[in-house]
Every structure is written in C-alpha cells, then in structure tokens.
Structure 1
Amino acid sequence: MADDGIGALAHFSPESDTWDLSRWAARIRQLDAPNRFISAIGSEFPWNLMFWAKHMLSVARGNPHPKLTRPLSASRLDRTLRPYDRLVGSGIAPALLMSAGRRLDVFYPYSSGVEWVGDPDVTALMKGQDRLKRAGALRVRDKQIAGIRASRHVVSSDIGYTAQVFAEMGISPLLMQLPMLYKEASPATYPPQLSALLDQLSHYDLRFISHARHRWCNTGDFQDDEWEFRYSKHNNWIIHAFAQFQRQRPHVRSVLVLLDYGTDATNSRLLCQELGISESVLWIERMPRMQLLEVINACDVGIGEFYSMPRMIWGGTALEIMACAKPLVQGFVFDDGEFQSLYGSAPPPMCAVRTQEDLTRWLLQLGDSPLLRSRLGEEGLRWFDSYNGRGLARQWLDLIAA
C-alpha cells in the first residue's frame, strides 16, 4: 500500500524484509492507495468532497506524500490491477477492490477481530463521540464486509475473537496459518546504528526482548472486563515479571529490550520508572525487520503477546522469535489437545502463559538454565521449519492457484 514504509509504518516495507532487495524488486508493485479510510470510501459521494478538500489543503501546505491523501479513481485502480490473474490481500484491500469492481482471490486478516471490521481501533471509532468519524467507520466497515464476502477464499489462523467476527459475517474461513519470512544470512557489515546496539547488548549476561506493539491501557471506549479479555496485549505483565526477575536474581546483569511502538509505549515507560527498573530496560526504535531479527538473534529469550481470550493465536512477533531459534514465552489459552485437534499439528514448544505469575516463573526458569534456553530455541526453530516454512508456503501456492 502507499503508506507502507512511511511514518508510523516506516518499518513495514519490502526494503525492511530483506538485506538484498534486488532479488525481489522486479516482483514488487506498490499501489497508489494507503491502508486508510480514503481507500475504501474516497471515491464515494459525499465523502469524496471531504477527501479532495483535505488533499488540496495538504498539498498547499507542502504535503510530502500526496498519494496518502488523494482519492484513487476506480479506473486507475483497475488499470493497475489488470495485468494480474490472482489477487491476495489483507488490510483495506477488500473494500478497495470493491471500488474497481474486482475481488480478492484470497483474503487473510492481519488483525485480531479483522481489520476495519472488529479490530479495536475501528471499534473505538464506531463507539466514539465524533459523528463524522463514526459515520465514516461504519461505512468503511460495511464496504469491507462486502469485499470480504465477495472474496473467493478467506483464510484465518485465529479461531478466537477473529473467528467470532467472521461468524457474525456469515463466513467460515479456511483455518490455515500464515507463512512467515525466514531469517536471511547476516550481512558482512551492519549499519552503524545497528552495530552499536548489538555491541551494547553484548555487555549483558542475559537479554530478554519483547518487540510487540504496546497496547494494555483501556482507551475508555470499552468496559474494563471487555478490554482485559479481548483487546489487551498485557505488555504490563512483561514489565512486572522482569522487575520480579531482577529482584530475585540481582546478581545477573540482565536487560529487557522493548520496542518504542504502540499507543501505550509511554505508559510502559512510566511503569518501568514506577518499578525502579528503567536503567535495566533498553528501548529501541522501530527498524527494518531484517535489522530487528539481528537484535532478536543477539538476545537470549523472546517474549510475545498475552491475550486472555481463549484460542487466540500468536502473530508475527512469536514467529520471528522462533525463526531466530530463541525460546518463546507466549500467551497460550488452549485446552489440552485442543490445538492439535484444530490445526492438525502439535503446538510449538513454547513457554505457555495464562497469567502474569506464569510469565514470571518462565523468566526465572529460563534465566537459570542456558540448557533449557538452547533446547527450546532449537525445538521452536524445527517447529517453524516444519509448520510455518516452505511446506506452508506450498499450501498457500496451491490455494492461490486453485
């Protein structure tokens, strides 16, 4: 999309996923449409009047990215897509393609609750006090649902909250996990900033990393129990658990690496200060994925996300940790044998967490045992290779070509 690699999405771009873009450049085409409201309803009356007015105003003010504010005509979108026989997408793609009279061959959601339908951001807008934003969110949601229903195939890896949202749409998605990139061989030299960061990490005995987006404080748009059960990633559990680790293992030179990303990053910083661990927490900026994988590779333990809702599947953060052969501490709310009966394979050999106390125990166990860290990391990589690597990619190719 047009906003990939820009602003808050600076770390989401093809250049971020490889050390050698020249291998893939011929296969990459970026649409002139962002993953935003404008791509769904920017050509509809009366919304088009508002978007064109905003676009002209932003250009007059020197907007460096006019593609993000200019409504894309259906004819131009159709010309862009005409050479392609198969269309696979996520984000705003279903609603966008409806504008050009096209449909996806495969839709897969990247967001819990399905983006632009039941994810927390659009849900908050639909519940908000701003009437214009509320009306826009409802229209985008309706168009997104229509586009998803029109898709030839719908695939989802999540049978928790996302499955409920699909059921409300009358859709039974194909249950299949999403393929994840492999960690490429490290380059001969690193960018200076990354090299300095890796050197800084080398001075610790034990390195924990959590590179998930920070979202754990209720925005006020949801009941507290609904927020805790459905939407919170519980990043605060990680900070509390690390504080406990430091208190119980004061002789270990340990560090918690956190990514400065998400609406609650500031609240996480404040919690670190409150618990007196700020000097042992290393905040890193968003960076290209291939650089981030090098940081994960330099750490000892990877920490994922901790939703409380049953059957919530992990996302890219967990897969990136496994791809680097690091032990994964991850929320896992499945009954015994339930995962295998649903997905046809055993779950990855992760450190399963349901509560903050579980998380603390795992940090202590992993911190005390290099052998445990090594074993779980190697087993996690084998699981990744078996169930999220080339074999899974072949399943996707068969689906797309069908």
Structure 2
Amino acid sequence: MTRIALIGNMNNNHFALMRHLRDLGADAHLFLYANEHDHFLPQCDTAMWDRWRPFVHQLGVSNGGRDVFYRDLGPLARRLGDFEALLGNGIAPVLCQRIGRRLDMFVPYCDGGEFIVEHEWKWRKPLASTYTALRKRAMEHALRDGVDAIVTANRHEHSLGTFRRLQVPTVDMFIPMLYAETSASEPVMPAELQQAAERMDRASLAVFSHVSHFWKTLPVARFMGGVGKRNQWLIEGFARYVGSTGDRAALLVMVEYGPDVAASKALIGQLGIADQIIWLPLMTRLQIMRLLDHAHVGGSEFAGMLWGGAGWEFLSKGVPMLHYLENESAYALPDRPLPPFLNCASAEEIARALLTHDRAALRRMGECARAWYERYQGQALAARYLGMLAEAAQRRRQEAAH
C-alpha cells in the first residue's frame, strides 16, 4: 500500500483526492496549512467527518507566510519521513526543498503557479514587496530544482509561460476536485437557502453563480491575465436577456463573496434588475451542491482560462455552464474531449446563449455534461494520479535500496 502525503488543500481539492485515493487502496493523508480558508476546510465538504478525521492533519506551517522560511521544519521532516510519495500545492515546493525532499507532483491552484505571477512590486510597501520578491525567487528555485512534474490542465499562456521559463515538465491532467458521498444524510438547509431554492424552482430561468466577485479590484495587475473573473459580463448578459424577452420571472443568484460585490450591486442597480437578483451568504460546498439541484444554468468565469471549482461543481451536477474558454482546441485531447458548455466571450454572447437555449435544450446539455464528468473526472481521474504517485514511490524505494 503506497503511503501518500497531500500537502495543502485549497477548495478541498486535495481532501477530495485523498478520499478517492483511499477508496482505491492507497494510504493517503492530507496535511492542512495553518491558514487554509475557513469555508474550504474539510468539514465543509463532508457530512461524514468522523470517518475522514484520522487521515487529516495540521502541517504546522502557513501557506506562504514568513514562518515558511524561519521556522524549524525538523518536526515536519519527521512527520513526512514515512510517506513514500508527496503531492502538494501552494508553498509545498519550498517546504519540501527545505526538508531535503523532492515533491513528486505539484498541482497549482493559481494560474502560473502560486506566489509567482501574483508578485507585484509596490513602492508604498517596500518591506512587503521585498518579501514577496524573495518568496517568488524561492518558489521558482524550488519548482526548477525540486519538483518532478507540474500537473495542470490550464493551457492559457498566462499559466504555461511560467512553467516553460522554469523548464519544469508539465502533465496535462485535470484536478479531481469533488468526491460524492452517497451514504450520509443530507444536512438541514438554513432557512435563507431554502427560501432561495423555492424561488429558483418558481423562476422561469434560474442562473446560479457562486464565483467570487473579482472584476474591478484585482489583487495584482496580472490576476487572471489582468481581467479578473469578469462577473460583470454575467450581470450585463442576464440584463440583456431580460430586456430582450421581458421575462420578469427569471432570476440571477449570486454570492456575497469577493472584493467587488459592492461594484456588482451598483451595476445591478444601474441596469434596473435588482428585483431579479438573489444574494446569498458564503456557503459550504455541501450547501452549494444542494442549491445546484434547483439551478437551470451555472455562471462560471470569463477570463479565457479553464474553469475552477465552480465549473467542476456545475459539471458534476449536470448544470449547463456559461464560461469563456479561449482557444478551445488547445484543451481537447484525442482521449479527452471537452465537456459541453456555453462558451461566451462577451456579455452579448451570454445573452444570446440564454435566448437561444430553452429549458429542454439546457436539460439535454446538462445530462451530457454529467455523463462527461462521470467518465473523465472523479475516481477514474484519481486512478491516474495514483498510478503516477505509485511510480514515484517505487523509484524512491529503488533509490533507497542502492
């Protein structure tokens, strides 16, 4: 049985992978950074926490904080010493290099790799900028000299340019982001979410988007290629649809999440569609997945890159998805076509997609998307990860024997 350590979580990606790997017979454990986001903790993604709790541990180090460089990592080295294969995200390459271990697989959650593209010198914050510059250099050095492979399916130049520059080999695979639990009882929905579900059921068209609002206040100039998630396209496209059809029974459901919520609300007010918008609080994945049963269309991201967690959640539930993916042909492989989705490169195209797809057409697209997901995601994808990690463990055993 291969012993695998998964370092870092982010959106419960690795918590999902850990569960898949354990189902496949591996002894997989998850190590959480000290500063994981609260709504992305494993407890938010399972109704069976007692089952998985023994395999989830605290790493004792933050993801990208100064403690990465000054803390004694001897205890971490000893904790990871018994694991034959290491997979990680975030600052994991630097941590592994510091403890004298190679990271077998780096699975970035940030376009272009964590702490690299997001570095930006700010003259008003010279000390902080000096630190992020040093962190970027450490990350690049660790990726170049201490990582066997980067696993990413994002073919956008904004991402691949970094990896080519560092001359690190990449493996084109998706991230198995979701794990379906079938034996647990469903948690009780808060009244606010239950009321939203009932309104969605009564709507002529319910568009659901739980993507964070990043379209005006970007954390750095190059965030998502410098355009952010373009949530404004979804709002403007929905408004165009309402204006063209006069459909006052359509709803757009969004989450108060991200720095540009206020800007989105202001735009909604200007467009005169406030009475057709439902705003919900930040939710756990368990709650999101319940609400997706009531959605007719999902609103993803429009930066031209591969979709993130929201997109995978739409596909897994068979909800047809509005998304913008630049250069589709770069993503479709002979043994892995792209799923069906509504590729929209502007607010006008979003409106056109909503105008030209009735509920029956959307339902058919959703069914095809769900079938694609079951074939190319989930445990079938996790088995490919296990194969690569098992090979890495075997190499390590052979090296130790010599």
Q: TM-score, normalised by structure 2?
A: 0.82
Alignment match, 2:331: 339
1:182 and 1:323 in contact (8 A); partners too: no
Give the counterpart letter for 1:401 in structure 2.
Answer: A
- Alpha-carbon spacing, 1:167–1:333, altered in 2? closer, same or farther (3 Å): same
Alignment match, 2:96: 97
1:127: Cα distance to partner?
A: 4.4
Q: Which runs of 5+ in 1 are unaligned?
A: 44-71
Separation of aligned partners in 1, 2:258 and 2:190? 25
Give the counterpart letter for 1:148 in structure 2.
Answer: L
SS at match of 2:57: coil
Q: Choose the corresponding residue for 2:62, options 17, 21, 34.
A: 34
1:137: Cα distance to partner?
A: 0.3
Separation of aligned partners in 1, 2:275 and 2:81? 55
Give the counterpart letter for 1:347 in structure 2.
Answer: L
Separation of aligned partners in 2, 1:213 and 1:151? 31
Alignment match, 2:309: 316
**Deviations 1:211-267 (Å, cap 9, x if unpaired)?**
112111154964xxx778544211110010111122223244111111211222221
Separation of aligned partners in 2, 1:83 and 1:330? 42
2:203 and 2:250 in contact (8 A); partners too: yes
Alignment match, 1:211: 210
Whether 2:283 is the aligned partner of 1:291: answer no
**Deviations 1:318-376 (Å, cap 9, x if unpaired)?**
111010111111112225x44334x642211111112222111112223xx11111100
Give the counterpart letter for 1:385 in structure 2.
Answer: E
- Alpha-carbon spacing, 1:227–1:178, altered in 2? closer, same or farther (3 Å): closer
Whether 2:165 is the aligned partner of 1:168: answer yes
SS at match of 1:87: strand
1:158: Cα distance to partner?
A: 0.9
Alignment match, 2:53: 25
Q: Which runs of 5+ in 2 are unaligned?
A: 1-31, 392-402
Q: TM-score, normalised by structure 1?
A: 0.82
Separation of aligned partners in 2, 1:221 and 1:108? 22
Q: Choose the corresponding residue for 2:181, options 178, 181, 184.
A: 184
Separation of aligned partners in 2, 1:338 and 1:271? 34
Alignment match, 1:360: 351
Alignment of 1:246-265 (within 5 A): 246-265=242-261
SS at match of 2:115: helix
- Alpha-carbon spacing, 1:270–1:142, altered in 2? closer, same or farther (3 Å): same
2:61 and 2:68 in contact (8 A); partners too: no
Separation of aligned partners in 2, 1:364 and 1:96? 50
1:183 and 1:323 in contact (8 A); partners too: no
Separation of aligned partners in 2, 1:219 and 1:306? 14
1:279: Cα distance to partner?
A: 2.2
SS at match of 2:370: helix
Give the counterpart letter for 2:313 in structure 1.
Answer: E
SS at match of 1:37: coil
1:179: Cα distance to partner?
A: 1.1
1:37 and 1:136 in contact (8 A); partners too: no
Give the counterpart letter for 2:167 in structure 1.
Answer: G
Separation of aligned partners in 1, 2:361 and 2:123? 47
Alignment match, 1:78: 77
Whether 2:163 is the aligned partner of 1:135: answer no
Alignment match, 1:153: 149
SS at match of 2:119: helix
1:40 and 1:143 in contact (8 A); partners too: no
Give the counterpart letter for 1:390 in structure 2.
Answer: Q
CA RMSD in angstroms comes to 2.2
1:103 and 1:147 in contact (8 A); partners too: no
SS at match of 1:340: coil
1:389: Cα distance to partner?
A: 2.1
Give the counterpart letter for 1:84 in structure 2.
Answer: F
SS at match of 2:252: strand
Alignment of 1:382-401 (within 5 A): 382-401=371-390
SS at match of 1:208: strand
Give the counterpart letter for 2:375 in structure 1.
Answer: S
Number of equivalenced pairs: 356
